Amino acid sequence: MGRSAIVTGSDPGIGQATQLPVVLLSHRGPVSFGRDEQGRRTASRGAGGLVTALTGLISDLPDAVWVCAASSEEDAAVAADRDGGAVEVALEPEPRLLDEDGAGDGQDGPGVRLRLVEVDQQAHDDFYTVIANPLLWFLQHGMYGLALAPVLTKREHAAWNDGYVAVNRLFADAVVSEVQARGGRALVMLHDYHFYLVARQVREQCPGAVLSFFLHIPWPGPDAWRVLPPAWREAVLNGLLGNDVVAFHTEGFARNFLLTCQELLGLPVDLEAMTVRVGDREVAARHYPISIDVEAMRALAASPEVAEHAGQLREVYGGEERQLILRVDRTDPSKNIVRGFEAFATLLEDHPELVGRVSFLALLQPSRQDVPEYADYLAEIGAIVARVNAAHAGEGHEPIDLRLVEDQALAVAAYTVCDVLMVNALADGMNLVAKEAVVVNTRESVLALSENTGAHQELGPFAVTLHPFDVQQQADALHEALTMGRDLRRARREAAARVVEENDIAKWLTAQLTDLGVTPGDDQRS
Ligand code: ADP
Ligand code: F6P
């Protein structure tokens, strides 16, 4: 399908129907380059739900460019080879540089233009490891106890100015140059908490641009933001108010945003219309639950690579008597992995008959290891797994199979063969793992899903709900999931899959374009 952005006459700032190119910004890009042992260039997929969601969409948008950070030395080298200009890549079936050796090999999906922005190492550390993660991430996921953390010292103040503010300026400059290269008129789609300050600058320099922002993580109520110094939180809000639309996964997050503008900036908000007035403009707060490309996920599940992994998993965990609990996550403290293993240990203590029959496979991608809180959390994960396995190992088996890997084919294979998928996040904007698993599972698995995920609003009725701080409740819920009758499991999984099929990633994009006065249509240039 060729999808282009056509602005209709209903958009006040744009006038007549016009095609708009898309300039998309996120910190993590869809592909990162490296070198293998032979010195050959490699390309791998970027981490996390944002990349999962956007990868399939961007190729459909003509004249689109994805601006993102150069996250490796090789990314920087690729960008430098093109004097900082965009590179052409194919994202599917595997990520690959297209303009390196002339034409593709015919196997590549449609190309995407990627602008890799190189960031000074010190500025990036300040931006990423001091401000974005942990400070904003922890604040927005409600992870600070506040008695002892966070502590904002000279170090954090310097990191705000020389890191977060400076890096936002750098990326705003890159977005501005891409918009200007398109005649000053573009749909600018900004993503996530790394870039709260960008819209304001882009609006000043490109008044012809339509600006939208999508947040992939929770937005808490006004009081949570008081942890930040007034100048910082006001900069965050004023930056976001440079957009035409600020969008979230859930209505609750959108409402929290408006209440934050009202309480911390004293701006008039309309909670019926879901708008905030900023001078002579109205900024809309909207919610669009993000999703997955169901067809692509099912095609991957049907691939030989996934089938091979699934066969291996069945050899280890298959059999009528055996059951498999699965989790697939970044090793992020917000994912609540340690309490999940504690709940599993409680399950085995309360139901010793399950020892040796039920295993827990955890496919965990080490995440943000340059942030001390994340490195500590990974160590905690290793420690609890060692404790549970020491306490409950039987002859020839360990109850928890912990694999620190990033392997999409293995993860999808595990979705197909598991009996229970555990998602017990403390707080999660959406959680795409839950959506992925229900559309490809073949064993009528049960979704055990935290009530604090965005996904729970759509899939909660078909899941066993987990209360993320209550380890006993999680153990009981796992038992309920493992002992649920097959008919009920099948009915629930099918219903959950239907919800995901009907609300897929294409619908997420279309809803936003429609609200912006931008409707998808045929690309007249193709
Ligand atoms: P987040 O955006 O916080 O990382 P989501 O659940 O929304 O959380 O998205 C995570 C994405 O990363 C999913 O597409 C999931 O399949 C993928 N993923 C997570 N862990 C792994 C892993 N260990 N190996 C491969 N893919 C993973
Ligand atoms: O989806 C939430 C998110 O924070 C994305 O913004 C991010 O790209 C992803 O998780 C993975 O995190 P990181 O890019 O820090 O590895």
Pocket flag, ligand 1, residue 330 (CB < 6 Å): yes
Across the range 438-463, mean pLDDT stands at 98
**Residues 422-438, mean pLDDT to the nearest whole number:** 98
Element (H, E) at 287: strand 281-287
Side chain identity at 452, as an amino acid letter? N
Query: Which pLDDT belongs to residue 519?
Result: 46
Mean pLDDT score of the chain, rounded to an integer? 92
Q: What gap in Å lies between CA 77 and CA 19, rounded to an integer? A: 33
Write the pLDDT tens digit of every residue in 291-337.
999 999 999 999 999 999 999 999 999 888 999 999 999 999 999 99
Q: From the CB of 328, is ligand 1 less than 6 Å away? A: yes
Assess whether pLDDT exceeds 60 at residue 14. Answer: no
Q: How far, in Å, CA of 329 to CA of 411, rounded?
A: 10
The burial class, CB within 10 Å (0-12 / 13-18 / 19+), for 317 is buried
134 close to ligand 2 (CB < 6 Angstrom): no
* 361: three-class secondary structure by DSSP: strand
The residue written with tokens 């129907």 in the block is 17
Decide whether any atom of ligand 2 lies within 6 Å of the 216 Cβ: yes
Decide if pLDDT at 63 tops 90: no
What is the per-residue pLDDT for 108? 61
pLDDT band, very low/low/confident/very high, at 107 (cuts 50, 70, 90): low
Ligand in nearest proximity to the CA of 369: 2
**Tokens, residue 266:** 């004293």
pLDDT tens, 351-394? 999 999 999 999 999 999 999 999 999 999 999 999 999 999 98
CA 408 / ligand 1 centre spacing (Å):
8
Q: What atom of ligand 1 comes closest to residue 292's alpha carbon?
A: 14
